[in-house]
Amino acid sequence: MSTQSAVATQPDTKQRILDAAERLFAHEGYNNTSLRAITGEADVNLAAVNYHFGSKEALLEAVFQRRLVPLNQVRRERLEAVREASQREGRPPGARETLAAFIEPTLAFRESAAGAGEFSNLVGRAIIDPDDTVRKIFLHHIEPIFQLLFDTLREALPDLPPEKLFWRVQFSLGAMGHTIHMRATGDDAQKNGKFKCLPHGIISSCDAASMTDMLLTFITAGMEAP
Amino acid sequence: MSTQSAVATQPDTKQRILDAAERLFAHEGYNNTSLRAITGEADVNLAAVNYHFGSKEALLEAVFQRRLVPLNQVRRERLEAVREASQREGRPPGARETLAAFIEPTLAFRESAAGAGEFSNLVGRAIIDPDDTVRKIFLHHIEPIFQLLFDTLREALPDLPPEKLFWRVQFSLGAMGHTIHMRATGDDAQKNGKFKCLPHGIISSCDAASMTDMLLTFITAGMEAP
DNA sequence: GTATGTTTTATACACCCGTTTGAAACGTTT
DNA sequence: AAACGTTTCAAACGGGTGTATAAAACATAC
Q: Does the CB of A193 have a partner CB in chain B at under 8 Å? A: no
- Quote the CA–CA distance of B139 and B128 in Å, as a whole number: 11
pLDDT per residue as tens digits for the range A108-127: 777 777 677 788 888 888 88
Residue A130 in this model has a pLDDT that exceeds 90:
no
**Strand intervals (E) in chain A:** none
Task: Flag whether A136 is in a domain.
Answer: yes
Give me the pLDDT at residue B144, please.
Answer: 93
Residue B204 in this model has a pLDDT that exceeds 80:
no
- Quote the CA–CA distance of A195 and A199 in Å, as a whole number: 9
Residue A68 in this model has a pLDDT that exceeds 50:
yes
What pLDDT band is residue B185 in, cutting at 50, 70 and 90? low
pLDDT per residue as tens digits for the range A71-96: 999 999 999 999 999 999 999 999 99
Nucleotide nearest to A51 (CA to C1'): C7
Residue A7 in this model has a pLDDT that exceeds 80:
no
Q: What is the mean pLDDT of residues B83-99?
A: 96
| Minimal CA separation from B30 to chain A, in Å | 10
What pLDDT band is residue B101 in, cutting at 50, 70 and 90? very high
Give me the pLDDT at residue B165, please.
Answer: 95
Task: Flag whether A7 is in a domain.
Answer: no
Q: Does the CB of A165 have a partner CB in chain B at under 8 Å? A: no
Give me the pLDDT at residue A55, please.
Answer: 97
| Minimal CA separation from B132 to chain A, in Å | 9
Give me the pLDDT at residue B205, please.
Answer: 59
What pLDDT band is residue A45 in, cutting at 50, 70 and 90? very high
| Minimal CA separation from A1 to chain B, in Å | 42
Task: Flag whether B214 is in a domain.
Answer: yes
Cβ of B225 within 8 Å of Cβ of A220? The answer is yes
The answer to whether the C-beta of A48 is closer than 7 A to strand C is yes
Nucleotide nearest to A35 (CA to C1'): D18
Residue B142: give the domain boundaries: 56-224
Cβ of B196 within 8 Å of Cβ of A143? The answer is yes
Give me the pLDDT at residue B10, please.
Answer: 55
Task: Flag whether A216 is in a domain.
Answer: yes
Annotate A158-167 with b (16+ C-beta within 10 A) or e (fewer). Answer: eebebbbbbb
Residue A212 in this model has a pLDDT that exceeds 80:
yes
- Quote the CA–CA distance of A5 and A84 in Å, as a whole number: 45
- Quote the CA–CA distance of A135 and A170 in Å, as a whole number: 14
pLDDT per residue as tens digits for the range A152-182: 999 999 999 998 999 999 999 999 988 888 8
Give me the pLDDT at residue A202, please.
Answer: 52
Q: What is the mean pLDDT of residues B16-27?
A: 94
CATH number of the domain that A192 lies in? 1.10.357.10
Give me the pLDDT at residue A112, please.
Answer: 74
Task: Flag whether A145 is in a domain.
Answer: yes
How distant is C1' of D14 from CA of A160, in Å?
59
Task: Flag whether B140 is in a domain.
Answer: yes
Cβ of A131 within 8 Å of Cβ of B203? The answer is no
B90 φψ region: left (φ > 0), alpha (ψ -120 to 50), beta (else): left
Q: Who's near B204: CB < 8 A, 6+ residues apart?
A: A163
Cβ of B179 within 8 Å of Cβ of A174? The answer is yes
Task: Flag whether A16 is in a domain.
Answer: no
Cα dist. A42→A9, A114, A116, A123, B172 in Å?
18, 16, 16, 21, 38
Task: Flag whether B14 is in a domain.
Answer: no
Cβ of A224 within 8 Å of Cβ of B219? The answer is no
Mean pLDDT lowest among A50-59, A179-188, A190-199, B156-165: A190-199
Please name the residues between 131 and 150 in chain A that touch chain B, using a CB distance below 8 Å.
131, 139, 143, 146-147, 150
Q: How many CB atoms lie within 10 A of CB A197?
A: 17
- In this complex, the residue with its CA at the shortest distance from the C1' of nucleotide C16 is B34
Q: What percent of chain B has pLDDT over 70?
A: 84
Q: Which chain A residues touch B155 with a CB distance below 8 Å?
A: none
Give me the pLDDT at residue B149, please.
Answer: 95
Give me the pLDDT at residue A2, please.
Answer: 37
Mutate: best of B152, B198, B206, partner A, most A CBs <10 A: B198
Give me the pLDDT at residue B226, please.
Answer: 94
How distant is C1' of D29 from CA of B105, in Å?
75
Residue B6 in this model has a pLDDT that exceeds 60:
no
What pLDDT band is residue B207 in, cutting at 50, 70 and 90? confident
Cβ of B167 within 8 Å of Cβ of A200? The answer is no
Residue B30 in this model has a pLDDT that exceeds 80:
yes
In chain A, the number of structural domains is 1
Annotate B177-214 with b (16+ C-beta within 10 A) or e (fewer). Answer: bbbbbbbbbeeeeeeeebbebbeeeeeeeeebeebbeb
Residue B132 in this model has a pLDDT that exceeds 90:
no
Nucleotide nearest to A58 (CA to C1'): D18
How distant is C1' of D8 from CA of A130, in Å?
35
Residue B78 in this model has a pLDDT that exceeds 70:
yes
- Quote the CA–CA distance of A69 and A47 in Å, as a whole number: 27
